[in-house]
A and B are shown apart, each in its own frame.
Chain A
Amino acid sequence: MNYQEKYTENQILEFLSEIPDPEIPVITITELGIVRNVELTDKKVIITITPTYTGCPAMKLFEDEIIKKLHEKGINTIEIKLVYSPAWTTNWMTNKAKEKLTAYGIAPPISGTQDKGVLFSSGVKKVICPRCKSQNTILKSQFGSTACKAFYQCNDCLEPFDYFKCI
Chain B
Amino acid sequence: MTAKEALLNYCLRLGDSSLILGQRMSEWCSNGPILEEDIAMTNIALDLFGQARTMLTYAGEIEEKGKTEDDFAYKRNEREFYNSLLSERPNGHFGDTIARNFLQSAYFFHLYTTLSSSKDDMISAHAVKSLKEVTYHLRHSAEWLVRLGDGTAESHEKVQISLDDLWEFTGDLFEMNEVDELLIKEGIAVDLNEIKKEWIKTVDQVLERATLKKPENGYMQTGRLNAIHSEYLGHLIAEMQFLPRAYPDAKW
Contacts and interface: CB of A to CB of B under 8 A. Distances in A.
A143 interface: yes
B231 to A, nearest CB: 28
A118 B133 contact: no
Interface string B105-136: 00001000000000001101110111011011
Contact of B39 (A53, A115, A141, A165): A141
Interface string A71-95: 0000000000001111111000000
Interface string A41-61: 000000000010111110000
Contact of A118 (B40, B49, B135): B135
Interface in B17-43: 36-37, 39-40, 43
A84 B129 contact: yes
B39 A118 contact: no
Contact of B109 (A53, A83, A88, A118): A118
Contact of B139 (A57, A85, A86, A121): A121
B206 interface: yes
Nearest to B58: A84
Contacts of B195: none
Interface in B124-175: 124-126, 128-130, 132-133, 135-136, 138-140, 142-143, 146
A40 interface: no
A83 B124 CA distance: 12
B139 A55 contact: no
Contacts of B202: 119
A121 B121 CA distance: 31
A55 B136 contact: no
Contact of B205 (A85, A119, A145): A119
A87 B131 CA distance: 10
A163 interface: no
B130 A85 contact: no
Nearest to B129: A87
B121 A85 contact: yes
Contacts of A56: 50
Given A85-B125, A119-B202, A143 B39 contact: yes
Contacts of A115: 135, 139
A51 B109 CA distance: 20
B40 A143 contact: yes
A144 interface: yes
A140 B36 CA distance: 8
B50 A51 contact: yes
A115 B49 CA distance: 23
A145 B42 CA distance: 10
Contacts of A85: 121, 124-125, 128-129
A142 B124 CA distance: 26
B47 interface: yes
A83 B140 CA distance: 28
Given A55-B53, A85-B129, A120-B209, 11 more contacts: A51-B50, A85-B128, A86-B128, A88-B129, A121-B139, A141-B37, A141-B39, A143-B36, A147-B43, A151-B39, A167-B133
6 contacts: A54-B133, A83-B125, A84-B125, A120-B209, A151-B36, A165-B136
Interface of B: 36-37, 39-40, 43-44, 46-51, 53-54, 109, 121-122, 124-126, 128-130, 132-133, 135-136, 138-140, 142-143, 146, 202, 205-206, 209
